[in-house]
């Protein structure tokens, strides 16, 4: 009897090709389109893909859960002077959660998505590991570090061993509906998060001072939600050399700035850490390569476990623009070991 897979269908070519690959491998495929309640969704494109590949498409309305778990978190982090990463939270609390629930209800063997990542079952025991996709330019494993073995043992990434060009060629050969490329944040029109926040029903932080590291006032900000760590443009500070945002002090409602060389730090503290595989023992010291944001090339690091899901990460080479609220994801070679949320950059800790 053919194995079955419930595929998360977004309407774009990545998920469409993932479904096509599974059909080619002999899987019985059905699709799931998740309605999040925000404009910009591709439900018509998803239906067109399902029609072209001749599989049933189910829809699931999770508007309330999406707003509570993803959008409210996104807004709340900006109001706290942090830089959120909603895609990571959405993957854990929305996409893979509901895909798994629906797959179990409907009796599917596996779930699948169009992410560029890979999984591997270890020869010893019954543990599963998460790996980078082979296309370094499209690898999305950074966004998946919160997935654990519960998800990985039921999960297939058909696109993980292919490049984006491979996927485009398959889509073209199959004459799949092209769909649209995903925007950076699916619920924020034109990726303009500041405008999104200004129209969200919440009280925004008040304007305040921009100060240098010595405490001298060098400018004014429009609210701590309007700036991000590492930002240079839009600060409106008269100076021969550009200033960059180093920190955000929510207690004083101040934005601290410095020169480019002041951005560098030798490490960070991360909280709410989790570990992908059961064979990763969170104790002692771990040598790994740390990625502090998506597209970051990573830096060799020494990770010390502090207890209570907290770690101290010391970089072998200083890094700049370490942003609280972003994820620090740990790799050993191609394997994702785990990760956590950046609490603060290290100074002289």
**For each of the chain's 349 residues, which pLDDT tens digit applies?**
789 999 999 999 999 999 999 999 999 999 999 999 987 668 999 999 999 999 999 999 999 999 999 999 999 999 999 999 999 999 999 999 999 999 999 999 999 999 999 999 887 767 899 999 999 999 999 999 999 988 999 999 999 999 999 999 999 999 987 666 666 788 998 889 999 999 999 999 999 999 999 999 999 999 999 999 999 999 999 999 999 999 999 999 999 999 999 999 999 999 999 999 766 656 678 999 999 999 999 999 999 999 889 999 999 999 999 999 999 999 999 999 999 999 999 986 5
Closest-CA residue to 52 (of 177, 233, 196): 177
| Confidence (pTM) | 0.94
273 is catalytic: no
What was the pLDDT predicted at 201?
Answer: 94
What was the pLDDT predicted at 179?
Answer: 60
What was the pLDDT predicted at 280?
Answer: 61
Active-site option among 87, 90, 273, 274? 90
| Structure-block tokens of residue 204 | 């925004």
| Neighbour-count burial of 271, counting CB atoms closer than 10 A to its CB (0-12 exposed, 13-18 middle, 19+ buried) | middle
- Residue found by looking up tokens 């020869």 in the block: 123
């Amino acid at each position: 009897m053919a194995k079955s897979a419930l595929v998360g269908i977004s309407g774009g070519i990545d998920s469409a090709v993932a479904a096509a690959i599974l059909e080619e491998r002999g899987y019985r495929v059905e699709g799931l389109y998740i309605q999040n309640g925000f404009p910009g969704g591709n439900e018509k494109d998803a239906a067109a893909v399902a029609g072209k590949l001749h599989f049933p498409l189910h829809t699931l309305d999770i508007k309330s859960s999406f707003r509570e778990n993803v959008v409210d978190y996104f807004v709340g982090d900006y109001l706290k002077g942090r830089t959120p990463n909603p895609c990571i939270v959405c993957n854990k609390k929305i996409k893979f959660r509901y895909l798994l629930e629906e797959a179990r209800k409907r009796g599917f063997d596996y779930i699948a998505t169009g992410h560029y990542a890979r999984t591997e079952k270890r020869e010893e025991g019954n543990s599963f590991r998460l790996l980078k996709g082979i296309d370094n330019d499209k690898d999305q494993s950074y966004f998946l570090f919160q997935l654990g073995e519960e998800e990985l043992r039921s999960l297939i990434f058909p696109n993980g061993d292919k490049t984006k060009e491979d996927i485009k060629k398959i889509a073209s050969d199959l004459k799949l509906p092209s769909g649209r490329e995903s925007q950076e944040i699916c619920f924020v029109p034109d990726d303009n998060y500041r405008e999104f926040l200004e129209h969200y029903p919440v009280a925004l932080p008040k304007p305040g001072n921009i100060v240098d590291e010595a405490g001298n006032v060098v400018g004014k900000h429009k609210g701590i939600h309007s700036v991000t760590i590492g930002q240079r443009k839009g600060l409106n500070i008269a100076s021969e050399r550009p200033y960059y945002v180093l920190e955000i002090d929510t207690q004083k409602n101040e934005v601290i700035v410095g020169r480019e060389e002041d951005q560098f730090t030798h490490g960070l503290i991360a909280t709410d850490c989790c570990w992908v595989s059961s064979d990763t023992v969170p104790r002692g010291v771990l040598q790994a390569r740390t990625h502090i944001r998506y597209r970051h090339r990573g830096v060799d690091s020494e990770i010390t476990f502090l207890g209570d899901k907290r770690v101290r990460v010391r970089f072998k080479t200083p890094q700049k623009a370490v942003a609280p609220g972003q994820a620090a994801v740990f790799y050993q070679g191609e394997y994702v070991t785990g990760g956590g949320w950046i609490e603060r950059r290290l100074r002289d800790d």
